[in-house]
Amino acid sequence: MSAAVLFLDAEYRPLRVVPWQTAIADFFLGKVEVIEYSRDGAIKGITRDYPRPSVVRVVRHFKREKICIKFSRLNVYARDRFTCQYCGKKAYSEELNFDHVTPRAGAA
């Protein structure tokens, strides 16, 4: 029984997917609230059975780390899907330059 649980932040935005063991531990610690329970299976306790969560929400607000993408040639090529912005042809990164245009020799 290795079901995954979706973690949401306080504004109901998805954060990550974790094993149900982590979600149930955070629930009993008061860190999360269960939004939806799974229909397939329950967690067997000593004295009773608990429904297994499938979606949980973090109770407290916290600052999310800002994702900072480094400006580089490879990241620009990946953003543009290795496609020339002028002619629309796909090319390997070795064939592209920073402007996505390979100048012709002897062109005036």
Residue 53 and residue 74 share a domain:
no
Number of domains comprising the chain: 2
Give the integer Cα–Cα distance in Å for 86 and 96: 12
Domain that includes residue 97, residue range: 70-103
* 41-63 confidence digits (pLDDT tens): 788 888 988 889 999 999 887 67
Structure-model confidence comparison of residues 40 and 5, the more confident one: 5
| pLDDT given for residue 1 in this prediction | 46
Residue 34 has pLDDT above 80, yes or no: yes
59: left (phi over 0), alpha (psi -120 to 50) or beta: alpha
Kindly report the average pLDDT of the chain as a whole number.
83
Confidence of residue 78 (pLDDT cuts 50, 70, 90): confident
| pLDDT given for residue 11 in this prediction | 87
Residue 18 and residue 51 share a domain:
yes
Give the integer Cα–Cα distance in Å for 32 and 35: 9
Residue 47 and residue 12 share a domain:
yes
